[in-house]
Amino acid sequence: MAIFFRHMTENTLVIIGGDAAGMSAASKVRRSQPERKIIVFEKSAYTSYSACGIPYFISETVKSIDELVVRSPETFREKYNIDVRTMHLVLEVDTQNKKIKVLDKERNEEFWQPYDQLLIATGGKSYCPDIPGKDAENAFGVSTLKSGINIEKFIEDKKPQSAVIIGGGYIGLEMAEALLIRGLKVSIINRGKQLMNTLDPDMGEMVSEAMRKLGVTVYCEEELKAFDLNNNTINAVITNRQSIPADMVVFGMGSAPNTDFLKGSGIEFGVRNAIKVNSQMQTNIKDIWAAGDCAESLHLISHKHTYIALGTIANKTGVVAGGSISGENPHFPGVVGTAVCKICSYEVARTGLLEKDLKELGIEYVKGTIKSRTRAHYYPKSKDITVKLLAEKNSGRLLGGQIIGEEGAAKRIDVLAMALTHNLTLQNIIDLDLSYAPPFSPVWDPVQTAARKLINDV
């Protein structure tokens, strides 16, 4: 294979990764510096797409994969003068000589591309243990548009009757919903005692029970050990307890930073091999930034660095990185760990710290859980909602919140996320002038009802 060396144009910004963080940064730099040379290398055929929408494409709620694409490579090239090169995989970063090795996948040619400034925005990758069969033709991760297209094509062509999802986190549950809608018999294998390890055990158990009510077979405290393979096709998933037949397998075990290609580059890693960055998304190497699902974040409550892969964070950190690259002085303050998930009629939300986090940090806390309704009890279609709050003993400062319910439940987590971001107390939450009308809420919103109950224990 021939390796070429491409001549550098002065003051070239090179971006590795053409999705949320990378293209947000590129767009920000272009607005600030209209004449700047910007090159983006993207390993897939798509740019600026919503990976979060993949389960809804598979369920056919979203009819076309094109609906998940915000801006095409052609749009970036023609309208924004950003040199986007799809189907280009970056293999190596030479920080000493300020160049990257790139594979043009269509021509099967490698070349070195120099840079003046570099942004790494390579995102995350679906996690799976390194065992035979993980690349079988009926085994799928869910992290790129291509993976969504592959799953949809497999369902259409092969007409699978059963699916085993490995992992009970957000992706696992959203894929369970999608496959249920498509008529498959769905099983979930989960290593923990309950689904959603981002919730406290009592709330996670509620999610497990909700999934069972929907017809999903849930196997908790079971771990993937092997696959029963035949001609690169998985016939069954073998756990530490049993063998579960499967026509298709989906990996819902979360994501890991896509940073393996950076080993030996001198770029410093942090939590789970995510790239260490400061509040301006700068790495430890001059002229190199990182943003999105490949970088770590500061947690505003624990004051420790963490790894959270979400589109919201990717877009925000991309804009900050673009501003910093442009010579501005932006800062990304950090996260509080807010996330929501929908599984058929059920909604799940969380923000802040869990009980186990508070115990590890040695923070004395109180907790309280209430059950309420999403609307006035007399208004049609009012649904159940459960709210759990964690607060600091004595001060009453909010430390975390979790919500499980049906329609109208999950987005209430945003009130708690705002409270955490600004160090509000339970009393502050009670005093908030939240909106009220019977179609939207009881007179006391459930998050305020939970705060009223818990404040008595502070």
Min mean pLDDT across 3-17, 19-33, 269-283 is at: 3-17
Cα–Cα dist 211/167, whole Å: 13
Q: In the prediction, which pLDDT does 10 show? A: 57
What average pLDDT does the segment 285-294 reach? 98
Please state the pTM of the whole predicted model.
0.94
d(CA 160, CA 246): 9
Q: In the predicted model, what is the mean pLDDT of the chain? A: 95
Mention every residue, 6+ apart, whose C-beta is less than 8 A from residue 422: none
pLDDT at 2 over 50: no
Mean pLDDT of 164-182: 96
Handedness of CA 24, 27, 31, 34 (dihedral sign): positive
52 carries an active-site annotation: yes
The pLDDT of residue 15 is: 98
Would you say 317 and 288 are in contact if contact means Cβ atoms under 8 Å apart?
no
On the question of pLDDT at 8 being above 50, the answer is: no
Q: Alpha-carbon distance 174 to 177, whole Å?
A: 5
**For residue 60, what are the CA distances in angstroms to 53, 56, 100, 122?**
11, 6, 39, 28
Residue 292 above 80 pLDDT? yes
Q: What is the mean pLDDT of residues 280-299?
A: 98
Catalytic residue of the set 52, 220, 294, 341: 52
Torsion angles phi and psi, residue 297, rounded to 5: -130, 160
Q: How would residue 254 be classed by pLDDT, with cut points 50, 70 and 90?
A: confident
Q: Is the pLDDT of residue 407 over 70?
A: yes
